[in-house]
Amino acid sequence: MKCRVCRGPAVIDIRRHNAAFCDQHFLHHCREQVRRAVKDHQMLLEDDRVLVAVSGGKDSLALWDLLVELGYDADGLYLGLGIGDYSDRSTDAARAYAAERGHKLHEVDLAADYGYDIPSAAAATHRAPCGACGLSKRHLFNTVAIERGYDVVATGHNLDDEAAVLLGNVMRWETGYLGRQQPVLPDAPGFVRKVKPLIRLGEREMAAYCVLRGIDYIVEECPMAEGNRHLGYKEVLNALEDRSPGTKSAFVFGFLDRVHERFAGDAGAERAELGECSVCGSPTTGDVCAFCRLRERAGGG
Ligand code: AMP
Ligand code: FES
Ligand code: ZN
Ligand code: ZN
């Protein structure tokens, strides 16, 4: 296996690009894919202050690394979810990366700062923990970014994540979600811009990137997410990709280029009717926002 660029020994092959790369040219490939995603979807301006949501996993640490390499002013935000050992080890990974490279990491802890954690929220709502978790993350990424003066929040969602979410939304024809499924969500009153610069890179590429860059990340997945629907979609897509490389990116980018627009109206209607949460001031359709209601129910209100 030889590097497509220099013909030296390759360390990774990427079947959907029909290409293999040596270590240096693979790192270059990753940077170029991020550069292209940012440019194609107009994700970032040169002097934006970027807040990278870092979980301690491979994707978000690699994203932080890549954005700094590309010259962006990017700080990290870690959210302590209170999921036992898993959260402790994620905290360590995020802190260690920031400390070693001298980057600034903001930390918010659900239990200490908001009086609840994901297990207590799941128990109180009698629902899968991922719902409360996703809601808490979306709310706090946005609030922290606004309060601390960032222009944009970047998350580590990669091509595999986007394809799985898209498949899930298509299977259930969630038209509102399909309308919002974009690699960049523009800012709006009360919302900062949200971007997914890893959309052109797969899970395997992100793991390889971290190994080559010496980034220690937490390998285990969240124990509360085990067996969720999302993971099932990933398995199905991996089987398809295996038979026919390029399927995932054709699915995601075909949707973005040719289909997404048709659902844009379904997403827009919801944002139009927003008022302010009477507790925290965040945009909401009701009197009290979903985050404050969750917090109240989970014992932190
Ligand atoms: P997930 O929802 O776990 O698939 O994670 C998607 C993205 O959300 C990650 O790539 C991170 O950018 C961000 N994220 C997940 N967990 C955390 C966390 N505990 N703190 C900060 N950001 C997170
Ligand atoms: Fe959210 Fe596990 S990371 S429930
Ligand atoms: Zn090479
Ligand atoms: Zn609120």
45-102 pLDDT tens trace: 999 999 999 999 999 999 999 999 999 999 999 999 999 999 999 999 999 999 999 9
Q: Whose CA is nearest to atom 4 of ligand 2?
A: 130
Ligand 1: atom nearest CA of 53 is 22
pLDDT at 208: 98
* pLDDT value at residue 227: 65
Question: How far does residue 256's CA lie from ligand 2's centre (Å)?
Answer: 27
3-state secondary structure of 297: helix
| CB atoms inside a 10 Å sphere around CB 97 | 23
In this prediction, residue 272 carries a pLDDT of: 63
User: What pLDDT score was predicted for residue 151?
Assistant: 98
CA distance 4 to 13: 10
CB distance 108 to ligand 2 below 6 Å:
no
The tokens for 58 are 């491979």
* Predicted confidence (pLDDT) per residue in 88-119, tens digit: 999 999 999 999 999 999 999 999 999 999 99
Distance CA 127, CA 295 (A): 14
DSSP 224: G
Pocket test for ligand 1, best of 155, 219, 228, 231 (most atoms within 8 A of CB): 155
Q: Is 228 helix (H, G, I), strand (E, B) or coil?
A: coil
Looking at residue 68, its amino acid is V
298 Cβ contact list (under 8 Å, min separation 6): 115, 116, 117, 120, 121, 123, 124, 125, 132
How far apart (Å, rounded) are the C-alpha atoms in residues 14 and 246? 10
- For each of the domains in the chain, give its residue range(s) and CATH number, in order of start: 40-218+226-297 (3.40.50.620)
Which residues fall within 8 angstroms of residue 231, CB to CB, at 6 or more apart? 164, 225
**Residue 181 structure tokens:** 């499924």
Q: What is the pLDDT of residue 50?
A: 98
Strands (E), 81-157: 105-109, 152-154
**CA 132, 87, 221, 206 torsion: positive or negative?**
positive
* Ligand 2 atom, smallest distance to 128 CA: 4
Tens-digit pLDDT string for the chain (301 aa) = 999 999 999 999 999 999 999 999 999 999 999 999 999 999 999 999 999 999 999 999 999 999 999 999 999 999 999 999 999 999 999 999 999 999 999 999 999 999 999 999 999 999 888 899 999 999 999 999 999 999 999 999 999 999 999 999 999 999 999 999 999 999 999 999 999 999 999 999 999 999 999 999 999 988 887 667 788 999 999 999 999 999 999 999 999 999 999 998 887 655 667 899 999 999 999 999 999 999 999 987 7
Residues 6+ apart with CB under 8 A from 113: none
Buried/exposed code over 29-46 (b: 16+ C-beta within 10 A; e: otherwise): bbbebbeebbeebebbee
77 Cα nearest atom in ligand 1: 21
Q: How far is CA 189 from CA 42, 135, 139, in A?
A: 19, 19, 14
- Which ligand is nearest the CA of 80, by number? 1
Largest interatomic CA distance in the chain: 62
Q: Which atom of ligand 1 is nearest to the CA of 222?
A: 3
Phi and psi of 221, rounded to 5°?
Answer: -90, 165
Q: Is the dihedral of CA 215, 135, 121, 296 positive or negative?
A: positive
Number of the ligand closest to the Cα of 230: 1
Tell me which residue has tokens 């595999």: 160
152-154 and 193-195 as β-strands: parallel, antiparallel, unpaired? parallel
